[in-house]
Structure 1
């Protein structure tokens, strides 16, 4: 709000994006109604501008955090642009019988974010279309031979095949790989068999539909493989590697947070520590993505270090063992957030042994993550396992000496517990005892992870560090 230099009256202005201000002329009417209208207009414009800016910032942040999403969007646009040529160019349009729109629809429904998912949908769509089209033509021929019973034959065949295909979608093993194909089979068979009752040139129509679907799937496969390829197998491999790192950081963070000294810390340090501790939650929520990526990875051709018969199922076993470890870490956070105060002398007695065991355990997880990253077998795993087992035994020895500790009385006198009886209530000791038992249990679960990852490296043919160095050594023979 400002004052007009010419009239000396108050006027309303609003700042716009280019840095200038816009004058708002109040509508005719009473002074109160004019002010209400001006305020309403200012509110609407400000909210629109702020909402637009916030949406643009959110979209930019999503693209910056995951560039693969931007790449996928560009690839979909390129595929649709190429397939639309069949619709724009008259010779190509007439060559597919005016059904070029089916190629565009195919690109929209089968192009996915990774190569495995795109392959899966393309193969399912082509095979299901061929099978359903052939059966539809066969049913149409049988119905034509039946004379007046043609509608009954068609209706009965639709009921039979549609019911069988729908039932197959409830079988877990079939649903995981061929659910999309079963749906396309039902759709195509129903269209071909029912439309054949009114269409004369059914075979020509089926050929045109198959050709347009083949064009659409071919363009999707070529673009997904040769333009910034995104492999489901590589995504799964990197997901397990990141989960191992998060488990290691979360384990270190949980134990360090429990035994830390009571001193003031900044808000940023607390936020970083909380984020580090809660890394195990990503592991707990990764079951669905792992199963989906493993399913799509089976459809992909050999690429990089992943051959055609790569042991993708073993990735699921390794992921399951990681989640069992993450459940232990989830219970550790409950100990951290417990409001029960544990006696300081007990925490001090077990602090060093617990920190040593968590450090040895996290080193194993980080070593496994590095081995996954370089697709090699770890050469120091036996040494790290020995260190973790030694730290576990040391913590168990510390637990045996807890009842024999000597307490200092408030007056400074030294008083030994008689008969090793624990004078502290169980309520005070329970959080610490729970944390120690979880750390000991976690070592067994980490050994399960080691066995799963080692089995994966053996089945996948990962090389040792020395073998990889010899492979990369330059050849000096002339």
Structure 2
């Protein structure tokens, strides 16, 4: 035990030399500990997490959203807590709380869309339910339950059919669902006219209060707009694709045995774009419900973002194939192929910047001539490679790369046209 202790603990002697040795030991042992594998594995993920601004911003938005939902629930709970309000709505105050829980979504557009759907469905369901219940009461006798059953069948079947229509399902599915629920609640529960009218009044009042609280908090207290999220998402894809093509160009200059280090990470963003169609459609649907705010007006052409997103996904698939070809190639790209690559990724970056800054890109005057020159140059390279492909297998491999680059040029040209059209419809500034 004594020998083991002496190996790890430096004894403090009465000489200055021992003190200097101890200070030296502490000075060099601390970096050694920090460089150890245990400390490295625990600190590096934390540091990278703190440096990830995008992740931090998303976490802040989640916290803000959670606080806003909590505040809204407290406000609608006052219907129970305050006697004057409770006397007006009674036990139906629970409907206001349910409205906040169900309607309050992450973005303002989603909350507005769901709230308006709930309001329209409730009003139409209450109105038609009251009329059906009053008519059934007027018939009376044995015909009373028969009339109610007929109305329940007709409106339930018709509303269910409407929910299957694609255009209605996309934007009004929740409203039709609430209509069916409210209509049946009013018709079946309303045995007497007085009960029907009272139930309708209280339900409308509580739904309206819950809707007002949700919309007020969502729109006026640190709003999170779906339109902003969609705009940033489209711009980031231009940047990722540009960086991926630029990265492929840089990787082609490396030695063959060094090319496994980066491309997978660079192309990961491109692969993640391939399944963004549903996200785009959801954000566009929410953005259409949002009022005028910031740079986006009431008639902003959100459908154009879907078209641009489709072309970006097609381009991402081609870029992934291009990166795979470069990985398997044994020859670096020649200068005649590198220059077109540089023109392609710079054009993509220009298009992304034009959308980000909401200014017209001038595709016809600036980008299209550059891409046409790239196409001519690639055709010349392809012609030379076809002559040598019979005798040189490497030429055939490079020819496949040139073909993929030509397809990339086609998609970038298509993107330039779509971005130009977006600028015209959205009235982007000219400079």
Aligned length: 382
Alignment-derived partner of residue 29 in structure 2 = none
CA distance, structure 2, for counterparts of residue 183 and residue 352 of structure 1: 62
Offset at residue 333 of structure 1 (A): 3.3
Offset at residue 200 of structure 1 (A): 4.9
CA distance, structure 2, for counterparts of residue 183 and residue 258 of structure 1: 56
Alignment-derived partner of residue 227 in structure 1 = 221
CA distance, structure 1, for counterparts of residue 55 and residue 359 of structure 2: 32
> Equivalent residue of 1:102, what SS?
helix
Are the aligned partners of 2:132 and 2:148 in contact in 1 as well (CA < 8 Å)?
yes
Q: Which runs of 5+ in 1 are unaligned?
A: 1-53, 406-420, 466-478
Alignment-derived partner of residue 242 in structure 2 = 248
CA distance, structure 2, for counterparts of residue 289 and residue 404 of structure 1: 46
Match of 1:123 among 116, 136, 140: 116
Cα RMSD of the aligned pairs, angstroms, is 2.6
Alignment-derived partner of residue 334 in structure 1 = 324
Residue pairs, 1:296-307, within 5 angstroms: 296-307=286-297
CA distance, structure 2, for counterparts of residue 145 and residue 460 of structure 1: 55
CA distance change for structure 1 residues 393 and 260 in 2, over 3 Å: closer, same or farther? farther
Residue pairs, 1:367-406, within 5 angstroms: 367-378=350-361, 382-402=365-385
Asked if residue 174 in structure 1 is aligned to residue 140 in structure 2, the reply is no
Deviates further, 201-210 or 431-440: 431-440
CA distance, structure 2, for counterparts of residue 240 and residue 315 of structure 1: 8
CA distance, structure 1, for counterparts of residue 179 and residue 63 of structure 2: 32
Offset at residue 432 of structure 1 (A): 2.8
> Equivalent residue of 1:376, what SS?
coil
Residues 226-246 of structure 1: per-residue CA shift (max 9 Å, x gap): 111111111111111111111
> TM-score, normalization: structure 2?
0.82
Question: Which structure has the highest helix share of the two?
Answer: 2
CA distance, structure 1, for counterparts of residue 267 and residue 204 of structure 2: 54
Residue pairs, 1:280-299, within 5 angstroms: 280-299=270-289
CA distance, structure 2, for counterparts of residue 64 and residue 401 of structure 1: 51
Offset at residue 379 of structure 1 (A): 5.2
Are the aligned partners of 1:254 and 1:329 in contact in 2 as well (CA < 8 Å)?
no
> Equivalent residue of 1:134, what SS?
helix
CA distance, structure 2, for counterparts of residue 375 and residue 328 of structure 1: 27
CA distance change for structure 1 residues 74 and 381 in 2, over 3 Å: closer, same or farther? farther
Are the aligned partners of 1:80 and 1:107 in contact in 2 as well (CA < 8 Å)?
yes
Alignment-derived partner of residue 307 in structure 2 = 317
Residue pairs, 1:54-69, within 5 angstroms: 64=56, 66=58, 67-69=60-62
Deviates further, 430-439 or 61-70: 61-70
Offset at residue 317 of structure 1 (A): 1.2
Question: Which structure has the highest strand share of the two?
Answer: 1
CA distance, structure 2, for counterparts of residue 63 and residue 435 of structure 1: 35
Offset at residue 63 of structure 1 (A): 6.8
CA distance, structure 1, for counterparts of residue 258 and residue 249 of structure 2: 18
CA distance change for structure 1 residues 65 and 171 in 2, over 3 Å: closer, same or farther? same
Alignment-derived partner of residue 218 in structure 1 = 212
By relative contact order (CA 8 Å, sep 6+), the higher-ranking structure is 2
> Equivalent residue of 1:99, what SS?
helix
CA distance, structure 2, for counterparts of residue 432 and residue 382 of structure 1: 31
Residue pairs, 1:340-351, within 5 angstroms: 342=330, 344=331, 347=332, 350-351=333-334
Are the aligned partners of 1:251 and 1:329 in contact in 2 as well (CA < 8 Å)?
yes
CA distance, structure 1, for counterparts of residue 112 and residue 371 of structure 2: 44
CA distance, structure 2, for counterparts of residue 83 and residue 160 of structure 1: 35
Alignment-derived partner of residue 266 in structure 2 = 276
CA distance change for structure 1 residues 171 and 404 in 2, over 3 Å: closer, same or farther? closer
Match of 1:424 among 392, 399, 411: 392
Offset at residue 392 of structure 1 (A): 2.8
Q: Which runs of 5+ in 2 are unaligned?
A: 1-44
Alignment-derived partner of residue 236 in structure 1 = 230
Alignment-derived partner of residue 79 in structure 1 = 72
Are the aligned partners of 1:364 and 1:381 in contact in 2 as well (CA < 8 Å)?
no
Residues 375-423 of structure 1: per-residue CA shift (max 9 Å, x gap): 1123587334333332332232223233666xxxxxxxxxxxxxxx822
Are the aligned partners of 2:124 and 2:179 in contact in 1 as well (CA < 8 Å)?
yes
> TM-score, normalization: structure 1?
0.74
CA distance, structure 2, for counterparts of residue 404 and residue 139 of structure 1: 82
Alignment-derived partner of residue 133 in structure 1 = 126
Asked if residue 353 in structure 1 is aligned to residue 336 in structure 2, the reply is yes
> Equivalent residue of 2:91, what SS?
coil
CA distance, structure 2, for counterparts of residue 303 and residue 249 of structure 1: 31
